[in-house]
Structure 1
């Protein structure tokens, strides 16, 4: 979950460093794809396409639940689904984030590589992604499908 919670979504330079660190050797195109996504977000906010995060602005993602399943017999490739909220912290002289992204779902495919979990988009795994039952903390169907609440400290 730390991958998702710690990724920079506005600084394209930091995003490139982060994605380079967490990307599998099998999927080098992921880095450029996600840096492009950061630049699109910047442009959507009226910022120049490249640069740092404006002073005093930060984002926090809180993963509330996760589902993990193996995509191969070895357990070395897993698909992780996350249910999360993302909040902006604005400079002290600005209003609070009145429109946080809540109840978002996204997934990553991770492969065990060089002693760490790395993000992969290798076709043999992407082609076999599984869309889980929607998460609801009170749903027995979601629990049976493998969703588990994440406890944050």
Structure 2
């Protein structure tokens, strides 16, 4: 229920399949770590994400449909046990957002996902990644 509410808030109104796909992904992740398929975050667990770099490219001539790539690290902390001993590092993901007139909303419409091209891998010292448009996110 929580995931559906959150996905409904961020999904484009004309892309209802985005909500179903998002909820399905949340369920898979939860079940993969031994949690029930729905519900809140278990008491005593907190997550933090450190975005390291981003890349955004328009998928149309108006700039109203944008694919955003993100490279990040994600950490969990469990009360009484301390920090995550196996955090996700240098993960890369993307999402497509469309401007709805007042806000950016997520879409998974096939007409846009078909236009997504994989960029060069992010490396802070790579001239190819820089030329592709990757930009480091400042943490300070």
Q: TM-score, normalised by structure 1?
A: 0.85
2:85 maps to 98
1:73 corresponding residue in structure 2: 61
1:28 aligns with 2:11: no
What RMSD over aligned residues (CA atoms) do the two structures have, in Å?
1.3
Q: Which residue of 2 aligns with 1:8?
A: none
Instruction: Give the equivalent residue in structure 1 for 2:38.
Output: 50
In structure 1, the gaps of 5 or more residues are: 1-12
User: If each structure's strand is expressed as a fraction of its own residues, which one has the higher value?
Assistant: 2
Over residues 74-97 of structure 1, what are the superposed CA-to-partner deviations in whole Å (9 max), with x where a residue is unaligned?
A: 111111111111111211x11420
**SS where residue 15 of structure 1 aligns?**
helix
Tell me what 2:97 maps to. 110
> Is 2:117 the counterpart of 1:134?
no
Runs of 4+ that moved beyond 4 A: none
Matched, 1:150 2:137: yes
- Greater mean deviation of Cα atoms: 47-56 or 107-116: 47-56
Please report how far the alpha carbon of residue 152 of structure 1 lies from its aligned counterpart in structure 2 after TM superposition.
3.2
* CA displacement 1:113-141 (0-9 Å, x = unmatched): 03000111122211110100000011111
Q: So what's the TM-score if we normalise by structure 2?
A: 0.93
Distance, in Å, in 1 between the alignment partners of 2:32 and 2:109 is: 30
Corresponding residue SS for 2:138: coil
Cα deviation, residue 14, structure 1: 2.8
How many equivalent residue pairs? Answer: 140
- Structure 2 residues not aligned, in runs of 5+: none
